[in-house]
């Protein structure tokens, strides 16, 4: 099986958004908020907020990874934060995920980066095992999130 991993383009919107919806369903979300308009608006142009790669087998999209360039002041080094990685169930354990992460590692090297980070759900044991087998380790940080009304209150200065 030949896996082609390439940079995303605006024309990949339907494929990537469809795969992202599969990821949302896989992790138990009832609906996926990420849309074709979001993909095109935030993934391209001068105000781009993410980049990505798509994996194809025999011309069919079977996985993707979205990431963002970052900088770590403690390491004084650029790197990448992977926001999403998904491979369709029937294509898992066939090298697609490894090929996607290899492409991200190459993108990281291209910006002279020395690190990559990502999150993984605790209950996703297969992914945890996969990441650890590649040499990934649990990062010594706690994730925080602020959204909805709390974020609006903070932005307004009333939090």
pLDDT band for 159, please (50, 70, 90 cuts): low
Q: Which pTM value belongs to this model? A: 0.85
Q: State pLDDT tens for residues 63-117.
A: 999 999 999 998 899 999 999 999 999 999 999 999 999 999 999 999 999 999 8
Q: What are the structural domain ranges in the chain?
A: 3-156
Residue with tokens 């001068």: 46
Angstrom CA distances, 94 to 72, 73, 89, stand at 33, 37, 10
Classify 3-156 by CATH class: alpha beta
Q: State pLDDT tens for residues 107-131.
A: 999 999 999 988 877 777 787 777 7
Q: What is the pLDDT of residue 133?
A: 77
* Highest mean predicted confidence (pLDDT) among 9-18, 116-125, 135-144: 9-18
Q: Is the dihedral of CA 135, 60, 64, 113 positive or negative?
A: positive
């Amino acid at each position: 099986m030949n896996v082609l991993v390439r940079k995303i383009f605006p024309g990949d919107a339907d494929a990537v958004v469809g795969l992202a919806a599969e990821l949302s369903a896989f992790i138990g979300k009832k609906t996926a908020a990420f849309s074709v308009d979001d993909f095109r608006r935030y993934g391209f142009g001068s105000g781009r907020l993410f980049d990505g790669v798509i994996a194809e087998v025999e011309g069919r999209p079977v996985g993707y990874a979205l990431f963002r360039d970052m900088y770590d002041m403690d390491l004084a080094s650029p790197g990448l934060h992977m926001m999403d990685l998904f491979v369709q169930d029937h294509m898992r354990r066939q090298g697609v995920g490894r090929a996607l992460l290899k492409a991200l590692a190459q993108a990281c090297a291209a910006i002279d980066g020395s690190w990559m980070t990502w999150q993984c759900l605790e209950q996703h044991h297969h992914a945890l095992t996969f990441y650890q087998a590649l040499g990934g380790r649990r990062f010594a940080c706690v994730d925080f999130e602020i959204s909805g009304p709390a974020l609006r209150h903070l932005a307004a200065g009333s939090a």
